[in-house]
Amino acid sequence: MQQEREQPREPVDASRVPRFAGIATFARLPRLDEVSRADVAVAGVPFDSGVSYRPGARFGPAHVREASRLLRPYNPAQDVFPFASQQVADAGDLIANPFDIATAVAEIEAGARDLRARADRLVVIGGDHTIALPLLREVNGQHGPVAVLHFDAHLDTWDTYFGAPTTHGTPFRRASEEGLIDLTASMHVGIRGPLYAKRDLEDDERLGFAIVSSEFIEESGVPAAIDRIRARVADKPLYISIDIDVLDPSHAPGTGTPEAGGLTSRELLRMLRGLADLRIVGADVVEVAPAYDHAQLTAVAASHVVYELLSAMAPR
């Protein structure tokens, strides 16, 4: 006899406990240790030792959780109750060594693997983009090579910085070299700004990525961008990695490497909604640096990005 599915435990009721009170789990969700198992676990990785410019993303997970207090149970844009149709829980933070990147990467991968024993999928809040590499290693162990949909101002497929092979500018080069990504189905979205050389683009294509640039979105529109993404990803298992600097600094000033000419929050959220029926197997939202944020602009944007990802993962 099939066991009856347990009703999801939902966020704290804002009509009983004010949003500004209580423990700041993401969207005031239950902790992972308060539920028997989660369909999706939200976890933080407070690590930013891989940054090349402004530090501070180690404080990103707490900042985004604080801003997420205002999120509500029903998402009208996707017509879904993301916390009622699946069990979502906050798993706290994965601890990573702040002084040794190689050790930290191994710890993040091991921590993600441990969480996956208690949750079917993970949505991770960074931290800097270095963390995408260990997360992709863990996802690859479950699904093999995955399509990577990477929203960012930057390619993050450079080789090394000052001889260091693992930084926030290199995770997708290492992932490609290690066979973690599907070379026929991966894509960058929102790329813009100056590069070191034209060869950066040639290397990127060789590593398995197509590009929907910020200029393409401006000229052709969001629906055309969604069409390109869907045609590229098709029915492959999909990992979505979002650097908040894909947004213009007017929408997300609190980040480590801002570039002018980025997406609006509305454009990014619309694109994520257009992917809701794809096979999303995991995601991260990274590079929120609170010291450069004001009025929680960046944190509010990031919390809504996580909310749209959780909504897209919800069963219909």
- Give the CATH number of domain 26-313; options: 3.30.70.1560, 3.40.800.10, 3.40.50.300, 3.40.50.970: 3.40.800.10
pLDDT class of 4 with cuts at 50, 70, 90: low
pTM for this prediction: 0.96
- For 43-101, write each residue's pLDDT tens digit: 999 999 999 999 999 999 999 999 999 999 999 999 999 999 999 999 999 999 999 99
What percentage of residues in the chain have a pLDDT greater than 70?
A: 98
Per residue in 118-154, pLDDT (tens digit) is 999 999 999 999 999 999 999 999 999 999 999 999 9
- What pLDDT is recorded for position 231? 98
Mean pLDDT of the chain: 96
Q: What average pLDDT does range 157-166 have in this prediction?
A: 96
Task: State mean pLDDT over 210-238.
Answer: 98
What distance, in Å, lies between the first and last C-alpha atoms of the chain? 24
**Full 3-state SS string of the chain:** CCCCCCCCCCCCCCCCCCCCCCCCCHHHCCEHHHCCCEEEEEEEECCCCCCCCCCCHHHHHHHHHHHHHHCCCCECCCCECCCCCCCEEEEEECCCCCCCHHHHHHHHHHHHHHHHCCEEEEEEEECCHHHHHHHHHHHHHHHCCEEEEEECCCCCCCCCECCECCCCCCHHHHHHHCCCECCCCEEEEEECCCCCCCHHHHHHHHCCEEEEEHHHHHHHCHHHHHHHHHHHHCCCCEEEEEEHHHECCCCCCCECCCCCCCECHHHHHHHHHCCCCCCEEEEEEECECHHHCCCCHHHHHHHHHHHHHHHHHCCC
- Residue-wise pLDDT for 289-312, tens only, equals 999 999 999 999 999 999 999 999
Whole-angstrom CA distances from 314 to 83, 133, 286 are 8, 25, 22
d(CA 309, CA 313): 6
Question: Residue 5: its pLDDT value, please?
Answer: 66
